[in-house]
Structure 1
Amino acid sequence: MLTFLSRMAGVFDIDLETEDVSDPEDDSCELTVIEPDCVPTEEVELTSESVNRDSERVGPDCFELLTVLGKGAYGKVFQVRKVQGPQTGKIFAMKVLKKAKIVCNAKDTAHTRAEREILEKVRHPFIVDLLYAFQTGGKLYLILECLSGGELFMQLEKEGIFMEDTACFYLGEITMALGHLHSNGIIYRDLKPENIMLCQQGHIKLTDFGLSKESIHDGSITHTFCGTIEYMAPEILTRLGHNRAVDWWSLGALMHDMLTGSPPFTAENRKKTIDKILKCKVNLPPYLTIDARDLIKKLLKKNPAQRIGSGKGDAADIQKHPFFRHISWEELLNKNVEPPYKPQLHSEEDTSQFDTRFTRQTPVDSPDDTTLSHSAELAFAGFSFVAPSVLESLKEGFSFEPRSRHVRRHNSSPRTPVSPLKFSPAGPFKSSLDGEPDLFSPTSPPAAPPPVPQENGAASQPIKTPSRNKKKKIHRR
């Protein structure tokens, strides 16, 4: 019970934003309130209901399950509709994790908490937004914006390889997202096509922060062996310590994948792939432009100190590279640049961009009666969260299961790096506000560039690229 005064003799301003860095011995202070005689008082019991009257209480019953979007070792991702409270009727993605499986390993527990904290902290146009987080006795729930365009992996699989202007658009948005994370002391560590989602307008969003690491600023290093082998930097593989430069290596591997059909170093097994990453030079096809070749080589420097982006400039150094010379970074950040591909969606609930192995399953959030110890429950204290603002209706999904990629090929040489109507020598990307036709629409594909003469005078032939399985992330304990 607590007594509240109906009249106060003073008003006190409290700065909730200021971090307390004072010495513990100085924490005490004296506060005097002058209370006039015979002031009527009222007794009020402090309960969660009386203190949190204006805060939204969110739980599994606030959401209707619509479709399964993905399944993993620790749980599932569903497309859901909110059926109670604010934002009723909105479509979200609900990531459900089983506590009992997570608490078996201290690192898994730490990474789960880190993902939740990073998603709360970070707000950026090209990073998935967290709307709510809550828990039950046996499960953790993350409610994320709905990214209905699916994985960039799927689009890359359909196209085989990207033209350089298409790759430039996606790589530009990814670079800005990584730069924002780095400015907040966060390294991503799992950049790959499967973790890059497309919103319904076609812009990218980084998702899945389960392997991200906080508090990595200038001079800081970490040693966890984690990521996806084909995109993993040499310094992670050697376990000598790594920092944010690992994300720029992964960007180089991703750029190579976009423009050639596969990551730069692949082999029939994990050991041989690692050997190639550590020992072999990157081989680039002759059809790549000089700027593309130069950027890939600078991103894939095995010595992180020599890698572009590893200095204090971080993302800014990469943005200055000639490969991005046509980009207006301000326009790109404001989403005023028309994406090269816009998902063909019929409604907010359209899941056509996701794997039918999952979407055909009956969406069921199975009951979990697991009882955790008190110490295990403490690991998830403070997990609940409600976003401070109403966000766009988009979607996030994930999948850990391997998925084969068909042979990726194209019908002509991708030598021409830019589309004439999308670029001009004197200016940046055409803004979507300019009213230019959508050259990348599935109904009106861009004209194929003419074959490029080779040294022997013959026209170039279609390039066949090897298929590869969808890569699994690894996390070495």
Structure 2
Amino acid sequence: MAGVFDIDLETEEGSDGEEPELGALEVDPDLRHTGSELVPDHYEEIEISESIVNNGPERIGPHCFELLRVLGKGGYGKVFQVRKVQGTNAGKIFAMKVLKKAKIACNAKDTAHTRAERNILEAIKHPFIVDLIYAFQTGGKLYLILECLSGGELFMQLEREGIFLEDTACFYLSEITLALGHLHSSGIIYRDLKPENIMLNSQGHIKLTDFGLCKESIHDGAVTHTFCGTIEYMAPEILLRSGHNRAVDWWSLGALMYDMLTGSPPFTAENRKKTMDKILKGKLALPPYLTPDARDLIKKFLKRHASQRIGGGPGDAADVQRHPFFRHINWDDLLARRVDPPFRPSLQSEDDVSQFDTRFTRQTPVDSPDDGFLSESANQAFLGFTYVAPSVLESIKEGFSFQPKLRSPRRLNSSPRTPVSPLKFSPFEAFKPSTSTEQMELSPPSLMPVPEVTAPLPIKTPSGTRKKKGRGRAR
């Protein structure tokens, strides 16, 4: 499969590219002089071959992995739990994301988003961002091999608990803050923060996943105008198409914080248009049981003017970290994952998939035959896709899922998740049109009063014993 693998082989040379001088060589004491030559006391003759000289990175392909379970599927392909059966990391469990080239290549934007996602995953290494281990391709498919995150989605934890206590929310929000700050420092804005895109590893620490809506090269002063994201977590400046920057991620974090502490995002309605109206003009209703610090941080996250929003200034994540809500967080310990998570998944083995949807895990894992064919010009779009992580972690024992799920409202009467982007690439979250026939106009909404809403005082109940009514996941 010539042209599929991009492998750079380096030879050890002097600093100027020439062979090192003899004086730079160290002579082994076991060598003896015979005339003008150095001869070892014991030596073995070997035949020089290409396999010995060019012993570079291993050749990675589908044959290196055994399919174990289906974790998700969608219009672009499937996600499998796999075990590596040969070479480096043999026996390790990974998640294998398989994408069909033909379906991606027919849309230039999808192709661009695919490459952007793969490039970001290669470039960004952080404790709270999913790791890309390998990337390779065949004639008709693209393969991403990622660390497995067996703890499932944060979404599932919210479903089980209804709402989080503030110390639990503080832990997750702190780890997310460090992940977003790292992305921003690299000029990347995330733009699709929501519980479905936050996974837990086997220890219970968070990992951001799904980088299909990320935008690169957004540094200080730069803005972008793409209308994308998930409505309930979308910042006003995205809705208005007035140009946005990294401050949109802090609005989304505020909406997520509100969701964790009350059971629903702050602005919801029965359809997209009304939800957008509330985001632009609605009154923020804060339950009375929130502590003053939590109330203050939510208000500062949900400032409609991005320049006034906490994190929206030059300080970015550092300004967020200094807020009193996080006063008990030791950020160095948190980054080093020395802080115990509030929830640790109950897993029986490395390949345990109990935190994933049984609709998928019960299916027989089969990677369909690679019968796709792309023209040479179309295949040019995927040049350089191949990747092998330079330093693969030794202790990856986690699980990963790409199948997003619509979450029923846990407390307030809201619409289901409504991801929006005419340009979005996300292999397992197809664009879902609203059931409403209203046009998604962005004209100034009518100034209708929004009634004050309060939530009941939260009561913590033992996990697994609480019975929830009307909170089943939408199918």
Give the TM-score normalised by the residue count of structure 2.
Answer: 0.77
Please tell me whether residue 396 in structure 1 is matched to residue 400 in structure 2: yes
Aligned to 1:434: none
Pair 1:313–1:52, CA change in 2 (3 A): farther
Q: SS of the residue aligned with 2:126? A: coil
CA contact (8 A) 1:406 1:468 kept: no
Any idea what the Cα deviations from partners look like across 1:37-76, whole Å, max 9, x if unmatched? xxxxxxxx998x6875221110011000101111122111
Gaps of 5+ in 1: 1-9, 15-30, 35-44, 417-439, 449-461, 472-477
Are positions 1:205 and 2:207 aligned together?
yes
**Contact (CA 8 Å) 1:66, 1:80: kept in 2 or not?**
yes
Contact 2:263 2:410 in 1 (8 A): no
Alpha-carbon distance change, 220 to 346 in structure 1, aligned in 2, over 3 angstroms: same
Q: Cα–Cα, structure 1 residues 245 and 342, in superposed 2: closer, same or farther, change >3 Å?
A: same
2:457 match = 413
Which letter does structure 1 place at the counterpart of 2:178? Answer: M
- Residues 272/442 of structure 1: CA separation in 2 closer, same or farther (3 Å cut): closer
Look up the match of 1:373.
375
Q: 1:329-344 maps to which residues of 2 (within 5 A)? A: 329-344=331-346
Cα distance in 2 for residues equivalent to 1:369 and 1:83? 24
Task: Please list, as runs of the form range in 1=range in 2, the aligned pairs for 1:356-371 lying within 5 A after superposition.
Answer: 356-371=358-373
- In structure 2, the CA distance between the partners of 1:12 and 1:412, relative to structure 1 (3 Å rule), is same
Tell me the CA shift for residue 396 of structure 1.
Answer: 1.9
Question: Are the structure 2 counterparts of residues 105 and 303 from structure 1 closer, same or farther at C-alpha, using a change threshold of 3 Å?
Answer: same
Q: Which residue pairs with 1:11 in the alignment? A: 14
- Partner residue in 1 for 2:221: 219
What SS does the corresponding residue of 1:246 show, helix, strand or coil?
Answer: helix
C-alpha contact (below 8 Å) 2:236/2:279 kept by paired residues = yes
Cα distance between partner residues in 2 of 1:356 and 1:408 = 27
User: Does the 8 Å CA contact 2:263/2:409 hold for their aligned counterparts?
Assistant: no
The whole-number CA distance in structure 2 between the counterparts of 1:215 and 1:50 is 41
Q: Which amino acid aligns with 2:176?
A: I
In the alignment, the residues of structure 2 paired with residue 304 and residue 166 of structure 1 have an alpha-carbon distance, to the nearest angstrom, of 27
The answer for the alignment partner of 1:64 in structure 2 is 66
- Corresponding residue of 1:26: none
Structure 2 equivalent of residue 85 of structure 1? 87
Residue 66 of structure 2 aligns to a residue whose secondary structure is strand
Q: Flag the 1:46–1:282 CA change in 2: closer, same or farther, 3 A.
A: farther
**CA pair 319-254 structure 1, distance change in 2 beyond 3 A:** same
Name the structure 1 match of 2:101. Answer: 99
CA distance in 1, matches of 2:201, 2:158: 15
Q: Secondary structure at the match of 1:76?
A: strand
The whole-number CA distance in structure 1 between the counterparts of 2:261 and 2:20 is: 70
Paired residue type of 1:395? G
Q: Distance in 1 between matches of 2:286 and 2:77?
A: 39
1:61-92 residue CA offsets vs partner (Å, 9 max, x unmatched): 10001011111221111110000101100000
Contact 1:68 1:76 in 2 (8 A): yes
Q: Deviation digits for residues 74-111 of structure 1, max 9, x if unmatched?
A: 11111100001011000001111111111121111111
1:144 lines up with 2:188 in the alignment? no
The residue aligned with 1:249 is 251
**Structure 1 residues 220 and 50: CA distance shift in structure 2, 3 A:** farther
Please show how residues 124-135 of structure 1 align to structure 2 within 5 Å.
124-135=126-137
C-alpha deviation, 1:413, in angstroms: 2.8
Map 1:404-443 → 2, pairs under 5 A: 404=408, 413-414=457-458
Instruction: Find the counterpart in structure 2 of residue 419 from structure 1.
Output: none
Which of 282, 298, 301 in structure 2 is aligned with 1:280?
A: 282
What SS class does the counterpart of residue 95 from structure 2 fall into?
Answer: strand
Q: Aligned partner of 2:351: which letter?
A: E
In structure 2, the partner of 1:179 is 181
Cα distance change on mapping 1:271 and 1:52 into 2, 3 Å = farther
Q: 1:158 to 1:52 in 2, by over 3 A?
A: farther
- Is the 1:408–1:466 contact (alpha carbons within 8 Å) kept by the matching residues of 2? no
Identity of aligned residues (%): 72
Deviation at 1:368, TM superposition (A): 3.1
Paired residues of 1:73 and 1:400 also in contact (CA < 8 A): no
Deviation >3 Å, runs of 4+: 10-14, 31-34, 49-52, 400-409, 440-443, 464-471
1:379 partner SS: helix
Deviations 1:203-228 (A, max 9, x none): 00001111111111101111111111
What's the counterpart of residue 451 of structure 2?
A: none
Check conservation: 2:264, 2:409, Cα contact below 8 A.
Answer: no
Q: Which residue matches 2:26?
A: none
CA contact (8 A) 1:157 1:408 kept: no
How many positions carry a matched residue from both structures?
A: 395
Rate the CA distance shift 1:441–1:55 in 2: closer, same or farther, 3 A.
farther
Q: Are the counterparts in 2 of residues 67 and 80 from structure 1 also a CA contact under 8 Å?
A: yes
Kept in 2, the 8 Å contact 1:196–1:205? The answer is: yes
Q: 1:52 to 1:140 in 2, by over 3 A?
A: farther
Aligned CA-pair RMSD? 3.0
CA distance in 2 between counterparts of 1:442 and 1:157 reads 11
> Could you give the per-residue CA deviations for residues 308-337 of structure 1, whole angstroms, max 9, x where no partner exists?
101111000000001111111111111111
Alignment of 1:203-352 (within 5 A): 203-352=205-354
In 2: Cα distance, 1:60 partner to 1:315 partner = 40
Distance, in Å, in 1 between the alignment partners of 2:99 and 2:472 is 28
Q: Is the 8 A contact 1:100 1:372 kept in 2?
A: yes
- The 1:325/1:316 distance shift into structure 2, 3 A limit, reads same
CA distance in 2 between partners of 1:229 and 1:365 (Å): 34
CA distance in 2, matches of 1:119, 1:470: 30
Q: Does the 8 Å CA contact 2:333/2:339 hold for their aligned counterparts?
A: yes
